[in-house]
């Protein structure tokens, strides 16, 4: 069965393109456009991996990550944080909330796919 | 009576020698008296002022600011106030004029500097925000083009693929420019904290060379290395200095079609001098002053290959200056170019101090504690008489190993000179200082016992910690200074 990826970004263009990219790579894709939506879908759909943009409306990526990683039921789901900032502070924050990987925009598709594959084992 | 006389004399001195101008005018504003300072102020003999109307309207009860002739034909500013008095039997007015030009000038300079700092901050925030905003649209453009190229959306012709590849190349270049701009703005706004360690600079040079060796070979260029044989230790940020080497080497390769690339490191008394040279196209004399400025590209390379961002040398210069080093360029058109930078070598005392400063800055920045230990040979003079320097060095190495063996994290730092080992442990709570000191001293003494040196070598230890002993590097350094020669 195809692995399920939850894709979260508030930019519709990026959602469209990444969805297409992931489907081509053989994954099942569900999407969310803000932090609350992401949290709800993560809990309901139990994806195998989440690609999470940092600067989301309603709940930012760190908060979403924190809430999932501190919940026994969901903490096993790997989370790749997608960010437009590659600053140290963010990485530190990410470590604290349990982010599994980082990708900086604009990303090389192969790098993203590689990371997804690694984390899905 | 003599007392009264001396009082008047004092008063005369007070008026005649006063740096402030004192002018007395009658009710109509005609000058009755002026002291020497007033004459100097109006640049004339005091007699010339007498009997003429005073140049300024009377201030009344307020202190007013007036424009006065200043130095170098500039306009000066003075404060003026009036006092009523009796002058030779009639009512008159004394005017006190206090020159505040210098004060105003300092104030204005300070305001200008504050303003400049404010503008710099706004500029750097602006660059940081803009860069951030540019990345998102750039991502979908890049991803869209990639997917068309990869055929996700149907077949593309060879010509279409070619054009799309060019787009992709330039998107990547744009993204490098954004990275570079961000980098510069962070360096300039002081947001970058160098992660300095003591390293052999030759290793850094070699690691930069390793990543570019293929390019040098591909262009058929010869590589001439001139590195010192001895260890050339220097206290720098590893990644940043490798970045400098890669940048300089990259440029040298790019602008050189035949001949050689030279890379030399000279270990001098107080500094290390690194030079990257080439036999390439060179830079015209008129362009040399601008090589380190942003977006100045001379003799651009045409044809295929990675295009520059115009930011590389500007970043190189910033990094070297952040390390308190210097960089210079020499070039002759069609003969070649050489970039030389120097990095300061610390004495062990300066180095220890720098470790403390850097550790402390990081600790304050992260709001975490910092613990520092200095283990040293207490009877160093006696030890020097008893053992040769080789034996002492090997003992110190052993001590270093023992102390270093207790480092747990990568962020922990240990550094040594001929008699002292400094151990900087970030995040370690100050409460643990005593127990760590005891454990390590015990380990060192056990070793000495095993070697039968217990009565020959005395190991001492001084400790300090932030915030326990203060929050300035000086305060911490002071606590352990006995341990440092």
Contact A17 B136 (CB under 8 A): no
Q: Which of B64, B59, B23, B28 is nearest to B41 (CA)?
A: B23
Residues of A in contact with B138 (CB under 8 A): 105-106
Cis amide bond preceding B39, omega within 30: no
Tens digits of residue pLDDT in B184-217: 877 777 667 677 778 899 999 999 998 898 889 8
Q: In the prediction, which pLDDT does B470 show?
A: 83
The whole-number pLDDT of residue B71 equals 72
Q: List the one residue out of B400, B435, B440, B447 whose CA is nearest residue B420.
A: B400
The shortest C-alpha distance from B259 to chain A (Å) reads 36
- DSSP character string of A23-36: HHTT-EEEEESSHH
CA distance A62 to A98: 9
Residue B107: helix, strand or coil by DSSP?
helix
| Contact yes or no for A17 and B138 at CB 8 A | no
pTM of model > 0.95: no
Q: Give the C-alpha separation, B71 to B56, whole Å.
A: 19
CA distance A27 to chain B (A): 15
Residues of A with Cβ-Cβ distance to B139 under 8 angstroms? 11, 14, 84, 105-107
CATH topology of domain B2-99: Beta-Lactamase (3.30.450)
Contact criterion met (CB < 8 Å) for A21 and B147: yes
Mean pLDDT value across residues A39-51: 95
CATH fold for domain B104-188: Helix Hairpins (1.10.287)
Q: What is the pLDDT of residue B1?
A: 46
Query: In this predicted model, what pLDDT tens digit does every residue of A13-43 receive, in sequence order?
Result: 999 999 999 999 999 999 999 999 999 999 9
CB contact under 8 A, B139 and A105: yes
By the CB < 8 Å criterion, does B427 face chain A? no
Q: Does B443 touch chain A (CB under 8 A)?
A: no
B454 part of contact set with chain A, CB < 8 Å: no
Distance of CA B254 to the CA centre of its chain: 30
How far apart, in Å, are the Cα atoms of B253 and each of B264, B340, B435?
Answer: 16, 16, 55
**Predicted pLDDT of residue B143:** 93
Q: Tell me the pairing of strands B64-69 and B336-344.
A: unpaired
d(CA B484, CA B421): 9
Widest pairwise Cα distance in chain B: 117
Angle B327-B320-B287 (CA atoms, 0-180°, nearest 5)? 40
Q: Residue A18: its chain B contacts at CB < 8 A?
A: 143
Nearest to A54 by CA among A19, A11, A18, A25: A11
Whether residue B135 and residue A105 make contact (CB cut-off 8 A), yes or no, is: yes
B385 touching A, CB under 8 A? no
Residue B339: the pLDDT is: 96
Smallest Cβ distance to B140: which of A11, A24, A109? Answer: A11
Note the pLDDT of residue A73: 92
pLDDT of residue B263: 94
Q: Name the nearest CA neighbour of B314 among B244, B256, B261, B239.
A: B244
The helix/strand/coil state of B380 is: helix
Contacts of B90 (CB under 8 A, 6+ apart): B26, B27
pLDDT digits (tens, 9 = 90+) for A89-104: 566 777 777 889 888 8
Superfamily of domain B353-483: Reverse transcriptase/Diguanylate cyclase domain (3.30.70.270)
Cα dist. B183→B179, B180, B191, B263, B341 in Å? 6, 5, 10, 26, 20
Closest CB from A14, A18, A106 relative to B175: A106
> What pLDDT shows up at residue B147?
94
Tell me how close the Cα of A73 comes to any Cα of chain B, in angstroms: 31
Q: Which residues of B touch A14 (CB under 8 A)?
A: 136, 139-140, 143
Check CB contact under 8 Å for A85 and B142: no
How far from B35 is each of B42, B96, B135, B147, B400, CA to CA, in Å? 11, 10, 70, 88, 75
Residue boundaries of the structural domains of chain B: 2-99, 104-188, 196-344, 353-483
Which regions of chain B are under pLDDT 50?
Answer: 1, 303-304
- The predicted structure's pLDDT at residue A107: 87
Any A CB within 8 A of B136 CB: yes
Radius of gyration of the CA atoms of chain B, in A: 35
User: For domain B196-344, is the CATH number 3.40.50.2300?
Assistant: no
A4-120: what CATH class? alpha beta
Nearest CB among B144, B152, B179 relative to A24 is that of B152
């Amino acid at each position: 069965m195809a692995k399920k990826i939850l894709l979260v970004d508030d930019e519709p263009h990026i959602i469209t393109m990444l969805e297409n990219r992931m489907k081509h790579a053989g994954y099942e894709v569900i999407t969310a456009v803000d932090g609350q939506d992401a949290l709800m879908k993560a809990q309901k759909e139990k994806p195998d991996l989440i690609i999470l943009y940092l600067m989301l409306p309603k709940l930012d990526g760190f908060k979403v990550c924190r809430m999932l990683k501190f919940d026994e039921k969901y903490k096993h789901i790997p989370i790749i944080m997608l960010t437009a900032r590659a600053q140290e502070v963010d990485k530190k924050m990410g470590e604290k909330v349990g982010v599994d990987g980082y990708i900086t925009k604009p990303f090389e598709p192969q790098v993203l796919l590689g990371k997804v594959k690694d984390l899905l084992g | 009576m003599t007392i009264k006389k001396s009082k008047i004399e004092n008063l005369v001195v007070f008026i005649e020698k006063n740096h402030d101008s004192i002018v007395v005018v009658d009710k109509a504003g005609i000058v009755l008296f002026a002291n020497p300072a007033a004459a100097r102020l109006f640049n004339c003999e005091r007699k010339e002022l007498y009997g003429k109307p005073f140049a300024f309207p009377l201030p009344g009860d307020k202190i007013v600011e007036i424009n006065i002739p200043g130095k170098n034909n500039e306009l000066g500013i003075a404060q003026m106030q009036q006092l009523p008095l009796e002058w030779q039997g009639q009512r008159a007015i004394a005017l006190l004029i206090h020159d505040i030009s210098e004060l105003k000038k300092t104030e204005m300079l300070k305001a200008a500097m504050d303003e400049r700092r404010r503008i710099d901050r706004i500029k750097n925030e602006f660059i940081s925000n803009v860069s951030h905003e540019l990345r998102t649209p750039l991502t979908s453009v890049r991803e869209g083009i990639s997917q068309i190229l990869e055929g996700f959306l149907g077949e593309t012709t060879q010509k279409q693929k070619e054009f799309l590849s060019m787009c992709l190349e330039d998107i990547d270049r744009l993204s490098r420019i954004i990275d570079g701009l961000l980098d510069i703005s962070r360096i300039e706004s002081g947001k970058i904290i160098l992660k300095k360690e003591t390293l052999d600079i030759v290793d850094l040079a070699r690691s930069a060379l390793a990543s570019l060796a293929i390019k040098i070979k591909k262009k058929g260029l010869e590589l001439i290395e001139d590195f010192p044989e001895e260890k050339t230790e220097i206290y720098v940020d590893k990644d940043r200095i490798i970045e400098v080497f890669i940048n300089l080497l990259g440029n040298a390769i790019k602008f050189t079609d035949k001949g050689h690339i030279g890379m030399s490191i000279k270990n001098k008394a107080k500094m290390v001098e690194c030079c990257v040279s080439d036999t390439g196209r060179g830079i015209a004399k008129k362009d040399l002053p601008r090589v380190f400025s942003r977006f100045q590209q001379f003799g651009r390379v045409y044809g295929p290959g990675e295009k520059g961002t115009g930011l590389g040398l500007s970043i190189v210069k910033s990094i070297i200056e952040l390390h308190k080093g210097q960089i210079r360029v020499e070039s002759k058109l069609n003969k070649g170019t050489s970039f030389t930078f120097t990095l300061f070598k610390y004495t062990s005392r300066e180095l220890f101090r720098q470790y403390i400063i850097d550790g402390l800055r990081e600790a304050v920045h992260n709001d975490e504690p910092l613990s520092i230990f200095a283990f040293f040979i207490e009877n160093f003079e006696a030890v020097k008489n008893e053992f040769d320097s080789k034996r002492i060095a090997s003992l110190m190495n052993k001590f270093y190993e023992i102390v270093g063996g207790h480092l747990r994290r990568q962020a922990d730092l240990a550094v040594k000179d001929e008699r002292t080992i400094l151990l900087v442990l970030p995040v370690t709570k100050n409460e643990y200082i005593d127990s760590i000191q005891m454990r390590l001293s015990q380990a060192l003494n056990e070793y000495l016992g095993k070697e039968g040196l217990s009565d020959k070598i005395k190991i001492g230890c001084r400790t300090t910690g932030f915030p326990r002993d203060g929050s300035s590097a000086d305060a911490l350094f002071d606590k352990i200074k006995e341990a440092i020669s």
